[in-house]
């Protein structure tokens, strides 16, 4: 009986490995390019998010200022000064001083908005 003959020439397996390698290299190149594109988009989205957050903060501060001013006006009506001949007690004694004005620190007033 004869021993089996070995195949002459280049084996088919080496070309398969080259094809697989080239296919995987192309896939890697595409994936790397896609990742770089996604990172670029992520950075630009982060910049846009920061700009929008700054605008939201500015608008909320403006709303808080307006709401605080309205709340203060509702809580503190404008003081009515008595006529010069009257001191606030119904007689003309001008020796007593008018009652002190009520002042509140505007910065300490906060309006609670739902969802904030």
In a domain, 27, yes or no: yes
SS3 track for 46-115: HHHHHHHHHHHHHHHHHHHHHHHHHHHHHHCCCCCCCCCCCCCCCCCCCCCCCCCCCCCCHHHCCCCCCC
**pTM for the structure as a whole:** 0.42
Query: pLDDT (tens digit, 9 = 90+) per residue, 29-43?
Result: 999 999 999 999 999
Residue 19 pLDDT exceeds 90: yes
29 occurs within a structural domain: yes
Query: The domain containing residue 30 runs over which residues?
Result: 12-76
**Looking at residue 50, what is its pLDDT?**
97
Q: Is residue 68 part of a domain?
A: yes
How many separate domains does the chain show? 1
* Residues 6 or more apart whose Cβ sits within 8 Å of residue 110: 64, 68
Collapsed DSSP state (helix, strand, coil) of residue 27: helix
Q: Is the pLDDT of residue 54 over 90?
A: yes
The span from the CA of 68 to the CA of 74, in Å, is 10
On whether residue 60 sits in a domain, the answer given is yes
Name the CA radius of gyration of the chain, rounded.
Answer: 41
* In-domain check, residue 110: no
The answer to whether residue 93 sits within a structural domain is no
Per residue in 62-106, pLDDT (tens digit) is 998 888 887 777 776 666 776 666 556 665 555 556 555 555 554
């Amino acid at each position: 009986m004869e021993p089996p003959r070995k195949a002459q020439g280049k084996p088919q397996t080496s070309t398969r490995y080259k094809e697989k390698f080239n296919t995987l290299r192309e896939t890697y190149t595409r994936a790397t390019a896609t990742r770089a594109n996604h990172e670029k988009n992520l950075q630009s989205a982060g910049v846009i998010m920061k700009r929008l957050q700054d605008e939201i903060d500015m608008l909320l501060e403006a709303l808080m200022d307006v709401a605080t001013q309205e709340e203060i006006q509702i809580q503190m009506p404008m003081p009515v000064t008595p006529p010069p001949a009257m001191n606030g007690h119904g007689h003309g004694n001008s020796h007593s001083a008018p009652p002190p004005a009520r002042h509140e620190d505007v910065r300490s007033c906060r309006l609670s908005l739902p969802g904030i």
